[in-house]
């Protein structure tokens, strides 16, 4: 019988499935419709699994995904499956007996695969693929045996399956428009209210800045800015990693007062600075480079009418889909082996570009600048003062410069091993480092810091030309520093409360018409926790401020909320962290509970308290800036040790316990 068997005919057939593959030559339309439906179903199932997993089973409540995943994932799979359907149609024409028969089972397996990868991410992808193929070989014949019913289900569900991601995308767009309309409708702040620009240099340690005496010229822009404002020489971060440090800056609350943790976002228990200023008529906007712990799912976006986190260059958008992400991760691991082949040396520039496109999707400072400047240019009500927050993540691991940037320190062209070490630095076991590795990583880090400083300078120059700085307070800080083995076994950040990780830069640059005539240098210890109180003071809203802490304007005698105190050291600065060491994880890859660290910096003394079974640490920074000599057991240090203990107990309202950090 010469009758063509198409997908539609196949689906309409009733009865038992054939014993083996039969001749099938699907029409192109039927193949594409079936494939598109499979792609939409796979995407919607993945989105649903993510939501169920996060809400019911996963202790990690941070999505680490763009909010657009709800429509990006289904549309990504729609495109992917359409391509597979076209290829399957060709296979069905070339191999009519087994081609389309195999393609249908493969498509069914791929529909099931994303759910498994999301629900059980630590199981090997290949293992799940084999299992999905086994299920598909049993499921597809059942669906074929109920061909008419299956066809009706596909045709009836196709329009809503396509409509759902489009509706979700539209809802996000309409939500953004509504928030902007609410801002435009609010009463203007008092005449003459200044703008505020808060810039956070993520992972930039004060100890690596020429601004603070580092021998390498890493911070020419910061040096120039310090000549126009107030430089704080002993600023302390409230934590040694991103989320709690930012949350403290935004709320004025210490880490132990907040919900934030390695697995928990900032909740709505406390008002944020953006919420406070937005309610008083300020335009609010945030532009962040750290999409791991500063994106919308971190909770830091509360109060910002405009908040830009993820961008979608190259393959970033399709990478929201787990199957695409896994495939690109495999390619990223293959590229170093290609680079290492001598016979492929002429191809290395192309391999490098492929690495940048497929794997390296960092949002660099230039992108953050473009977003911010674009927002400034597109504001409908330019007379309304703004509060803008910029987060630059260029100095965070991996310490790789964007393509075309200048290597200032170390070797301009690292070899294959060095490139791989830099790329994988965040995940490597640092204990196994060889002696020559640390200088290499310091060179790479300093390169990133210097390049970031250059991008900051470009932004300041542009704002100066636009006339924005004439009415804008600029605050430049870092959320935490970075360790490179200065203390045994301590690397990166979020691992300790030594000064390498909590001593951060802080500059406050007044508007052009500010009464501050000469630059100032503040030597006293200050905490970034006071930034919220400081900003509300600088914009003339100190009397209404809900934020604890004290305005740093008192350090230069310009505090509207409270009178300037007599000379003397400011109260000690608290820092807290629950270490997130790479080897401190359970069998599911989640951080184990460990005893939090608390530290107090007061003048020339630094006190650190951790696990009760470990010794306390007390360092006299004036004579031991590297914190090498613990004098906690020195009888001569007993009075200062007792004072620091009491102060830490008072600031934390009792001992630090893990439950405060793992809620």
Closest by Cα among 78, 19, 21 to 46: 78
Rounded Cα distance between 46 and 75, Å, is 12
| 4 CB burial (10 A radius; 0-12, 13-18, 19+) | exposed
Q: Are 456 and 476 in contact (CB under 8 A)?
A: yes
CB atoms near residue 465 (< 10 Å): 9
Rounded Cα distance between 470 and 68, Å, is 37
| 125 CB burial (10 A radius; 0-12, 13-18, 19+) | middle
Mean pLDDT of each 10-residue bin along the chain, 663 residues long = 41 45 78 96 97 92 93 96 95 87 94 95 92 95 91 95 97 92 90 96 98 97 96 97 97 94 93 97 97 95 95 78 86 65 63 61 92 94 94 94 86 74 82 77 96 98 95 97 90 93 97 75 96 97 94 81 42 83 50 74 92 83 95 94 92 71 50
Give CA angle at 521 (241, 476), nearest 5°: 40
Residue 432, token pair as written in the block: 């196994």
Q: Look at residue 235 and give its three-state secondary structure.
A: strand
Rounded Cα distance between 93 and 73, Å, is 30
Residue written as token pair 């990868």: 117
Virtual torsion, Cα 494, 497, 502, 503, nearest 10 deg: -150
Rounded Cα distance between 357 and 366, Å, is 17
Q: Look at residue 343 and give its three-state secondary structure.
A: helix
Residue written as token pair 């991410």: 121
Rounded Cα distance between 129 and 136, Å, is 10
Q: Look at residue 373 and give its three-state secondary structure.
A: helix
Measure Cα distances from 160 to 91, 425, 632 in Å. Answer: 30, 45, 68
Phi, psi torsion values for 262, nearest 5 degrees = -60, -25
Rounded Cα distance between 308 and 511, Å, is 26
Q: Are 219 and 452 in contact (CB under 8 A)?
A: no
CB atoms near residue 584 (< 10 Å): 14
Half-sphere exposure of 436 (CA within 13 A, CB side): 6
- Which residues are paired to 577 by β-bridges? 597
Q: Look at residue 614 and give its three-state secondary structure.
A: coil
Half-sphere exposure of 238 (CA within 13 A, CB side): 27
How many helices (H) and strands (E) the chain has is answered by 17, 14
Rounded Cα distance between 504 and 249, Å, is 13
In the chain, what are the domains? 7-170 (no CATH), 186-311+363-661 (3.40.720.10)
pTM (two decimals): 0.90
Closest by Cα among 571, 581, 576, 580 to 655: 576
Half-sphere exposure of 83 (CA within 13 A, CB side): 5
Closest by Cα among 421, 574, 584 to 495: 584
Residue 574 is given by DSSP the state E
Residue 494 is given by DSSP the state S
Q: Where are the alpha helices (DSSP H) in 61-145?
A: 69-94, 99-119, 125-145
Q: Are 571 and 601 in contact (CB under 8 A)?
A: no
Rounded Cα distance between 108 and 42, Å, is 9
Rounded Cα distance between 338 and 345, Å, is 9
Residue 249, token pair as written in the block: 């800056």
Rounded Cα distance between 503 and 513, Å, is 31
Q: Are 594 and 602 in contact (CB under 8 A)?
A: no
Rounded Cα distance between 583 and 602, Å, is 32
Q: Are 270 and 541 in contact (CB under 8 A)?
A: no
Phi, psi torsion values for 515, nearest 5 degrees = -70, -10
Residue 350, token pair as written in the block: 């192309």
- The continuous run of DSSP H or E covering 639 comes out as helix 638-652
Rounded Cα distance between 552 and 527, Å, is 9
Measure Cα distances from 293 to 243, 301, 366, 392, 523 in Å. Answer: 5, 11, 20, 12, 31
Q: Are strands 195-201 and 472-477 parallel, antiparallel or unpaired?
A: parallel
Closest by Cα among 297, 309, 301, 242 to 264: 297
Q: Are strands 597-602 and 605-609 parallel, antiparallel or unpaired?
A: antiparallel
Cβ-based neighbours of 351, under 8 Å, separated by 6 or more: 335, 338, 339, 344
Rounded Cα distance between 315 and 358, Å, is 6
Q: Where are the alpha helices (DSSP H) in 401-556?
A: 416-423, 437-466, 499-502, 531-538
Residue 662, token pair as written in the block: 């793992």
Q: What is the pLDDT of residue 251?
A: 97
Rounded Cα distance between 40 and 162, Å, is 7
Rounded Cα distance between 501 and 495, Å, is 8
Q: Are 549 and 529 in contact (CB under 8 A)?
A: yes
Q: Look at residue 318 and give its three-state secondary structure.
A: helix
Q: What is the DSSP string of 169-229?
A: HHHHHHHHHHHHHHHHHSPP--TTPPEEEEEEETT--GGG-GGGT-SS---HHHHHHHTTS
Closest by Cα among 447, 453, 443 to 484: 443
């Amino acid at each position: 019988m010469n009758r063509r068997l198409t997908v539609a005919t196949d689906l309409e057939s009733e009865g038992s499935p054939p014993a083996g593959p039969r001749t099938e030559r699907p029409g192109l339309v039927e193949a594409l419709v079936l494939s598109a439906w499979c792609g939409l179903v796979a995407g919607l199932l993945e989105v649903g699994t993510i939501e169920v997993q996060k809400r019911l089973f996963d202790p990690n409540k941070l999505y680490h995904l763009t909010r657009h995943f709800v429509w990006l994932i289904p549309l990504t799979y729609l495109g992917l499956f359409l391509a597979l359907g076209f290829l399957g149609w060709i296979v069905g024409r070339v191999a009519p007996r087994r081609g389309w028969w195999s393609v249908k089972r493969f498509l069914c397996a791929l529909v099931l695969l994303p759910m498994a990868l999301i629900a059980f991410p630590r199981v090997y992808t290949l293992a799940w693929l084999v299992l999905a193929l086994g299920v598909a070989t049993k499921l597809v014949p059942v669906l074929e045996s109920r061909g008419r019913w299956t066809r009706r289900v596909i045709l009836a569900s196709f329009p809503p399956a396509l409509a759902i991601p489009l509706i979700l995308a539209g809802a996000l767009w309409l939500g953004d428009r509504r928030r902007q309309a609410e801002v435009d409708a609010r009463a203007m702040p008092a005449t003459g209210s200044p703008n505020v620009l808060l810039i956070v240099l993520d992972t930039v340690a004060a100890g690596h800045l020429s601004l603070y005496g580092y021998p390498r010229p890493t911070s020419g822009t910061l040096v120039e800015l310090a000549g126009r404002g107030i430089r704080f020489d002993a600023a302390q971060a409230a934590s040694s990693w991103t989320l709690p440090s930012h949350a403290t800056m935004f709320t004025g609350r210490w880490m132990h007062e907040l919900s934030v943790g390695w697995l928990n976002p900032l909740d709505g228990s406390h008002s944020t600075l953006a919420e406070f200023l937005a309610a008083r008529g300020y335009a609010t906007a945030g532009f962040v480079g750290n999409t791991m712990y500063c994106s919308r799912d971190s909770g830091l976006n509360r109060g910002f009418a405009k908040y830009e986190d993820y961008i979608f260059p190259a393959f970033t958008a399709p990478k929201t889909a787990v199957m695409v992400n896994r495939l690109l991760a495999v390619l990223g691991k293959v590229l170093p082996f290609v680079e290492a082949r001598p016979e492929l040396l002429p191809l290395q520039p192309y391999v490098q570009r492929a690495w940048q496109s497929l794997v390296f999707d960092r949002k660099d400072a230039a992108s953050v600048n473009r977003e911010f400047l674009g927002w400034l240019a597109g504001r409908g009500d330019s007379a309304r003062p703004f509060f803008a927050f910029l987060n630059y993540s260029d100095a965070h691991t991996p310490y790789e410069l964007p393509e075309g940037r200048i290597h200032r320190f170390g070797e301009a062209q690292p070899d294959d091993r060095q490139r791989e070490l830099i790329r994988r630095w965040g995940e490597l076991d640092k204990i196994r480092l060889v002696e020559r590795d640390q200088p290499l990583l310091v060179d790479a880090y300093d390169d990133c810091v210097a390049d970031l400083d250059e991008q900051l300078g470009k932004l300041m120059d542009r704002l100066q030309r636009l006339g924005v700085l004439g009415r804008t307070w600029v605050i430049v800080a870092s959320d935490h520093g970075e360790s490179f083995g200065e203390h045994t076994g301590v690397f990166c950040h979020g691992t300790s409360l030594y000064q390498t990780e909590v001593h951060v830069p802080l500059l406050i640059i007044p508007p052009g018409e500010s009464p501050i005539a000469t630059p100032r240098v503040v030597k006293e210890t200050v905490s970034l926790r006071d930034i919220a109180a400081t900003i509300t003071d600088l914009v003339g809203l100190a009397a209404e401020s809900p934020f604890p802490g004290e305005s740093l304007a008192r350090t230069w005698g310009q505090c509207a909320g409270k009178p300037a105190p007599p000379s003397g050291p400011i109260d000690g600065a608290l820092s807290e962290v629950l270490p997130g060491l790479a080897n401190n994880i359970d069998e599911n890859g989640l951080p184990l509970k460990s005893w939090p660290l608390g530290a107090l910096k007061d003048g020339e003394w630094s006190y650190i308290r951790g696990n009760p079974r470990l010794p306390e640490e007390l360092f006299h920074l004036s004579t031991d800036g590297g914190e090498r000599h613990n004098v906690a057991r020195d009888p001569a240090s007993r009075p200062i040790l007792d004072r620091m203990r009491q102060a830490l107990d008072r600031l934390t309202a009792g001992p630090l316990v893990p439950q405060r950090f793992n809620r």
